[in-house]
Structure 1
Amino acid sequence: MNRDISSIRRDYQFEDLLEESTPNDPLQVFDEWLNKAIETCPEDPTAMTLSTVDQNNKPHARVVLLKQRSEEGFSFFTNYSSNKGEQIAHNNNACLTFFWPSLSRQVRIEGQIKKLSRNISEAYFLSRPKGSQLAAMASNQSQPVAHREDLHESVKRLEQEYVNSSIPCPDNWGGYILEADYIEFWQGRPSRLHDRLSYEKKDDGWVRTRLAP
């Protein structure tokens, strides 16, 4: 690379993240931040990086979309037979990271992942556009594909097969929910003196701690 990237930086000029103006419940803070991101960040405000670990303790990360935030946790949907599905089956400890550059905000959420009920997965699958349903059925996610056209041909065959009927949710497709035990909020501030508040779940509730930037 010919370009010098070491000098690329920007100063953050956003509001403070102070204990006296921040709720004690991190889920309430997250909802406020997510709603602000939805209002001000038109491109994928629900995008989050899902980090998992495989059986060799090698980390993996990819971007997925948050589809629900409930009192139980943070939900997304995918192929259970994919690489991330196999990694979750081996080790269900995972991390979700949200980053909203225009707000200079980041949220990191750690916890354990489990599958959502089949009823929830099927209900969400039926709510998806038909093209997305067909793609989920046609794609053997994470497996090698000889030619791109092979996927298109599979989708075309399925379109004909289900032209007059609803598309069933594949057995190996569905939802996961991450039940959080640690949530950290990062707010960019001038001169790299960023605000960081962490919340750790204990038996008697959430414990909040300020961290050095």
Structure 2
Amino acid sequence: MAETSMTDQRDIVDHIRDNAGEVAGEVVVTGGVDTHKDTHTAAAVDERGRVLGTRAFPADTAGYAALRGWLAGFGVVGTVGVEGTGSYGAGLTRYLTGHGVPVVEVNQPDRHARRRKGKTDAQDAINAAHAVASGRCEATPKAGTGPAASIAALRTALSSAVKSRTAARNQLDSLIVTAPAKLRETLAALSSTKRITACARLRP
């Protein structure tokens, strides 16, 4: 029987190491998700960074469940990197963390990888997964719930209301400037609140 060379032995060892997890059913899957308003594109990579697959899902609860199940179909889901956890990816982030899946925030696509590999949703998802697998992204996303999130929402609504009120007053003042003299003089003598009330009562 011919002896096995050292090169052949190394090839056999590498093959066993590369596929040991797969044989044992213990492949640890890292996910990456490129998020958009209506759809999310996910990618799955294994421990060695090999791409296992990419797929798009609806950005709703059913889509989140399908995405999670799809990743789990490749093995044990380790960590999922999600772009835009504070915007388009907020719902998916809450869903995954609520089901015990660790999520890492991927703030910005790798520009170097984009230039080298091109720009597609699938490629962005793969880049996100690789960024997590390599340890380049480790930030835990904000939950988006609790008192802090509630206060932030109220502040946003208040700011918008104040801006809208200011814009409306400026528009009214501009209209009064060109109004007939009698009407202009009557409205100019009123306070801002009374002026608005008087104008609301005007009819053609």
TM over 0.5: no
TM-score interval, smaller chain: under 0.3
Per chain length, whose mean CA-contact separation is higher, i.e. which structure has more relative contact order (CA < 8 Å, sep 6+)? 1
TM-score (norm 2): 0.21
Which has the higher Rg, Structure 1 or Structure 2? Answer: 2
TM-score (norm 1): 0.20
Which has more helix, going by share of residues? 2
Which has more strand, going by share of residues? 1
